[in-house]
Amino acid sequence: QEQLVESGGGVVQPGRSLRLSCAASGLSFSSFAMHWVRQSPGKGLEWVAVISYDGNSIKLYADSVKGRFTISRDNSKSTLFLEMNSLRPEDTAMYYCARDLSGGGLDYWGQGTLVTVSS
């Protein structure tokens, strides 16, 4: 079965860190760029970050997370990561990983993992 499965979400206090994972199975992973997209409760989609297929040439971030979040990948394990530091209440959201079919057309999405930043 072709799927992406996120994990690592939870409740965390402001200023703390969290690491999200996204495991791919049944679909090609190492040849495609990967994105993280988030959605605050009741709100719209917000692009977070992208990493190139090789994990080295391109890593880009939304201004809202630049300097605090780090995207990475392990192609040997078909896994994508998002290291989130200095978390803020406004980072509370469902975090989705997604595969980039072409220039941002995200063809496979995970089911999401919920991150809640609260004291």
Taking the least distance from each CB to other proteins, the nearer of 44 and 76 is: 44
Interface contacts to other proteins, rule CB under 8 A: 35, 37, 44-47, 50, 60-63, 96, 98, 101-107, 109-112
Smallest distance, Å, CB 43 to other proteins? 9
Taking the least distance from each CB to other proteins, the nearer of 50 and 84 is: 50
Residues 6+ away with beta carbon under 8 Å from 76: none
Smallest distance, Å, CB 78 to other proteins? 19
